[in-house]
Amino acid sequence: MYRYSLSRLVRHALSDRPWPRAWREAKPRSHYDVLIIGGGGHGLATAYYLAANHGMDRVAVVERAHIGAGNVGRNTTLVRSNYMMKGNTEFFEFSLKLWEGLSHELNFNVMLSQRGQIVLAHSPAQMDALARRGNIMRLNGIDAELLERAEVRRLLPYLDYSAAARFPVLGGLLQGRAGTVRHDAVAWGYARAADSLGVDIIEGCEVTGFLQDRSGVHGVETGRGRILADRVAIAVAGHSSHVAGLAGLRLPIESHLLQAFVTEPIKPFVNHVISFGAELFYISQSDKGGLVFGGHIDGFNSYTQRGQFPKVRQVAECAVALIPGMSRLKLLRHWAGIQDMTPDGGPFVCRTPIRHLYLNGGWCYQGFKATPAVGWCLAATIARDEEHPLVRCYALDRFARGAESLDEYGHGHWPYRH
C-alpha cells in the first residue's frame, strides 16, 4: 500500500506528482473463496477483516453502482454505544472501540470526532428511563453521565429553556465518547485497505441471480458474467429482500425511506451530538459548518430514494422547537436513503437456511455506527461458518425461537413503527 504520511503529504505538496489511485479497478476473476455482494461500508469492512484477521486473500466485493453511492454516504455520520438491550449494548460498544482505532488501522483519517452525545429528557419519567439506560451502560463498562437541567444548559446554552418551551428540558444522558465520523472516508479507507490486502473491488457489477443447488450456493450471476465463490455474503441494506429473494429467501424486512438534512454552513454552534427526547430527532454540526440532522422514517414502504415533503416540515418543526435559533437557517440539501426495517428494530448478521450464504442486513437506523463491528463479526462468521459470539443475538430465526427481544422501545412487530 502507498502509505499516507506527513512526509508524503509534504513531498506531494512540493511536486506536481499525482497521488496514486486508492484502489485498483479489479476485473472479476472466475472463482473466489468469498464473494460479498454490496460495496457499502459493511461489505468493504467485511472484506478487509476477512483479509486482515483471517488471512483470506481470494475475496471479492461486487457493487452495483460505485463505492460510496449507497447508505454509507447517506447517513448522518453518528457513532455511539448508548444501547440498553442485552446484545446491542456489547455489540455497539465493541464497534465504538474499533472506531477509536480505525484511522491508524486503515492508514486513512476517518476524522472521528468524539464530541459527546446528549440524549435529552423532557419529563420525570424520561429522566428515570435515562438513568436506567445510563446504569446499564456503566455496568457494561461504557461511559455515561446523567445531567441535570443546569448541566445541560451549561453545555447546550442555545436550546429553548424559556417558560414557553413546548417540551421543557429536564436533563439528559451524556456519552462523552460518542460523536461523528466522516462517512465517505470510511468507505474509501476500508476499500483502500482491503484492496492492499488483495481483495478485488468490482464496481458496476450487479448481481442478477445465485448459482445454487441442494448443497447450497456456489456463486452468483452478474451483469459481468458468472462468478464462482465458495461462500457468498449479502450486505445490501435497503435491497436485502430483493437480493435474498433471488436465492429464494423471504426475510423479516421491509424497505423504508429515511431522510437527512443539512443547512447552509455557519460558524461553530452545535458542539455535540444532540438527540431530542420528545420526538425522534438528532442533530450535529459538520466540520464544514452545516447543521446535519434527521428524524423518523417516512412511514410507508418505499424504494424511491426520494422523501416526502411533510416529513421535511415535521423534522424542521422539531429543529425549531429544540433550537429556536435555527429558524432562519436555510436548508442546503436533503436526501433519502432506503433502509431495511425489521420487526424488532434489530439487524441480522448470520448464516441463512441456504448453505454457504450469509446475510447482513436489517440495520434500521443504526447501520453506520455498526460498520467496523459488522465487518469484524461477519468476517469471523464467514471464516468459521459459525456466528461470532457478539452477533449470536442477530440471528435470522430469533422470532421463530422466541429469543430475547432486541426491541429498544417496545414498538411491537410492525417494521414501519420502529
Partner 1 sequence: MLAIHCPLCGERPYTEFRYGGDASKRRPALGTMAPEAWHDYLFLFDNPKGPHREFWQHDQGCRQWLLVVRDTATNAVGEVILARNAGAGAGEGPGGR
413 binds partner 1 (CB under 8 A): yes
Mark residue 284 as left, alpha or beta (left: phi above 0; alpha: psi -120 to 50; beta: remaining). Answer: beta
Q: Give the span between the Cα atoms of 272 and 174, in whole angstroms.
A: 10
Residues 6 or more apart in contact with residue 363 via CB below 8 angstroms? 42, 237, 339, 340, 347, 370
End-to-end, the C-alpha distance of the chain in Å comes to 42
Select 26 or 246, whichever has its Cβ closest to partner 1: 246
Choosing from 147, 251, 283, 318, the residue that interacts with partner 1 (CB under 8 A) is 251
Residues 6 or more apart in contact with residue 85 via CB below 8 angstroms? 346, 404, 405, 406, 407, 408
Q: Shortest distance, CB of residue 299 to partner 1, whole angstroms? A: 5
393 binds partner 1 (CB under 8 A): no
Select 199 or 251, whichever has its Cβ closest to partner 1: 251
Taking CB under 8 A as the binding criterion, the range among 155-163, 176-184, 198-206, 297-305 that sits at the site for partner 1 is 297-305
Residues 6 or more apart in contact with residue 393 via CB below 8 angstroms? 86, 87, 88, 91, 346, 403, 404, 406
Are 201 and 23 spatial neighbours (Cβ–Cβ below 8 Å)? yes
Three cell numbers, residue 397: 430465526
317 binds partner 1 (CB under 8 A): no
Select 335 or 416, whichever has its Cβ closest to partner 1: 416
255 binds partner 1 (CB under 8 A): yes
Are 336 and 257 spatial neighbours (Cβ–Cβ below 8 Å)? yes
416 binds partner 1 (CB under 8 A): yes
Residue tagged 410492525 (cell numbers): 414
Binding residues for partner 1 restricted to 216-245, rule: CB under 8 A: 239, 241-242
Q: Give the span between the Cα atoms of 331 and 186, in whole angstroms.
A: 25
253 binds partner 1 (CB under 8 A): yes
Are 57 and 29 spatial neighbours (Cβ–Cβ below 8 Å)? no
304 binds partner 1 (CB under 8 A): yes
3-class secondary-structure state, position 19: coil
Choosing from 303, 384, 385, 386, the residue that interacts with partner 1 (CB under 8 A) is 303
Three cell numbers, residue 33: 473463496
Select 2 or 300, whichever has its Cβ closest to partner 1: 300
308 binds partner 1 (CB under 8 A): yes
Select 255 or 381, whichever has its Cβ closest to partner 1: 255
328 binds partner 1 (CB under 8 A): no
What φ, ψ does residue 360 adopt, rounded to 5°?
-130, 115
Taking CB under 8 A as the binding criterion, the range among 101-109, 147-155, 247-255, 385-393 that sits at the site for partner 1 is 247-255
302 binds partner 1 (CB under 8 A): yes
Number of residues that bind partner 1 (CB under 8 A): 25
Select 300 or 409, whichever has its Cβ closest to partner 1: 300
Select 195 or 340, whichever has its Cβ closest to partner 1: 340
107 binds partner 1 (CB under 8 A): no
Choosing from 254, 337, 374, 405, the residue that interacts with partner 1 (CB under 8 A) is 254
407 binds partner 1 (CB under 8 A): no
Are 108 and 45 spatial neighbours (Cβ–Cβ below 8 Å)? no
3-class secondary-structure state, position 207: strand
Q: What is the DSSP letter of 365?
A: T
Q: Shortest distance, CB of residue 66 to partner 1, whole angstroms? A: 21
HSE (side-chain half, CA atoms, 13 Å) at 248: 11
In 3D space, the residue among 38, 71, 53 whose CA is nearest the CA of residue 201 turns out to be 38
Select 104 or 313, whichever has its Cβ closest to partner 1: 313
214 binds partner 1 (CB under 8 A): no
295 binds partner 1 (CB under 8 A): no
Q: Shortest distance, CB of residue 325 to partner 1, whole angstroms? A: 27
> Contact residues for partner 1 (CB under 8 A)?
239, 241-242, 250-255, 299-304, 308-310, 343, 399-400, 413-416
